[in-house]
Structure 1
Amino acid sequence: MSVVEENALTQDVFEDLARHAVRADEALRLEFVNGKMGVKAVPDGDHGRIIAWLTQICMQADPSRWLFGEQGLRIESYRKGNARPDASLAPLDAFVGQREWADPSDVLMVVEVTSYDEDTDRRDRVEKPRAYAETRIPVYLLIDRGTCEVKVHSEPDGVRYERVVTVPYGKAVLLPEPVGIELDTEPLKDWTR
């Protein structure tokens, strides 16, 4: 992952660069988190299966919501960041009429599934929880394939998530309101190498 320090890159410059990068290579996925530009790893087949599994669960729980994959979100109030979570749970019409980097105010939960790259620790375990909490997204679900754990972050106070529940694969965990789903994590054992 290449990183550009915040002094050299503004949000406007980043968004223009991201638009051109998408045209040049559809597999390139850029983010601007914590004042740094990064490139997200292209998801593998197990990653995609985890998102499909979670989408089915969310749809069964409430068909008026959808788990949107790769929707760009404006995050971080003071740094004006841009993230592309693996998935965002929101009402069906939450992003209608919005552009590539949407307002996250209707997002109920963001989901990240760790990749097997060197930036996962910093990006998914440190920077994104802080950025999503600053944005006051109610729930951040981290499916951590490196540790075989699920972490549910909730109760954002504008700086951090005050509550983090960690369970190993195989145990059930509650995705608190406004999501309100109990998640049986047993299937995740089949999609982690």
Structure 2
Amino acid sequence: MSVAQTEVTLDEFDALEAAAPENLHVELINGRILVTPAPDGDHDENVMSVADQLRAREPQLRVYQERGLAVPSYRAGRARVDGAVAPVGYFRGQPSWADSSGVLMVIEVTSGREADADVDRIEKRDAYAQAALPVYLLIDRHRGEAIVHWDPEGGRYLHECRAAFGAKLELPEPFGFALDTTELA
């Protein structure tokens, strides 16, 4: 039996998200509600490893963890990203679902469950490309690799580069440095 999937309005999403317990993240990606558990400690450590390296090279940028972003595309979306890289102060005065136009890179770490990993690998990647977010960095704990996607055009990223944990991953401009993935293992 197949179940018809209906699109959720932003008002319906807002009501559902407000009622969700704190241990769950509720997102609206490509018209579909996604519910995932809150991140574990390893997840946070991975984001902080990237944040520390980025801040050492780009002191005018910050990695904002667990930031809600409005990710407009052909369907309105709401994503709670693991890391949003933006200039210092970019989010000051913004609502809980902030404008994503000034975000330079989004960081996602696959959740502890392999069954949820394709959300980050495919659905979020495509939503971020459709929203023209310049760079998408995925830390895939299940495959033991980091993947960077960049240069969105026509709703998809034109380029990607991969590195196994322990190797260096070249980040594109405006970052332009090799991310050390040793701590991600």
Q: Residue in 1 aligned with 2:73?
A: 77
Counterparts of residues 33-182 of structure 1 (less than 5 Å): 33-182=29-178
Aligned length: 183
CA distance in 2, matches of 1:30, 1:45: 19
* Offset, 1:29: 1.2
CA distance in 2, matches of 1:159, 1:149: 24
Contact 1:76–1:135 (Cα < 8 Å) also in 2: yes
Contact 2:114–2:142 (Cα < 8 Å) also in 1: no
By percentage of residues, which structure has more strand?
A: 2
SS of 2:100's equivalent?
Answer: coil
CA distance in 2, matches of 1:51, 1:5: 36
SS of 1:84's equivalent?
Answer: strand
* Offset, 1:5: 6.9
CA RMSD of aligned residues (A): 1.7
Moved more, 180-189 or 31-40: 180-189
| CA separation of 1:5 and 1:89: change in aligned 2, threshold 3 A | farther
- Give the share of equivalent positions with the same residue, in percent: 43
SS of 2:81's equivalent?
Answer: coil
Q: Which amino acid aligns with 1:9?
A: V
Contact 1:109–1:179 (Cα < 8 Å) also in 2: no
| TM-score (norm: length of structure 2) | 0.92
Q: Which runs of 5+ in 1 are unaligned?
A: none
| TM-score (norm: length of structure 1) | 0.88
Q: Which amino acid aligns with 1:19?
A: A
Contact 2:146–2:165 (Cα < 8 Å) also in 1: yes
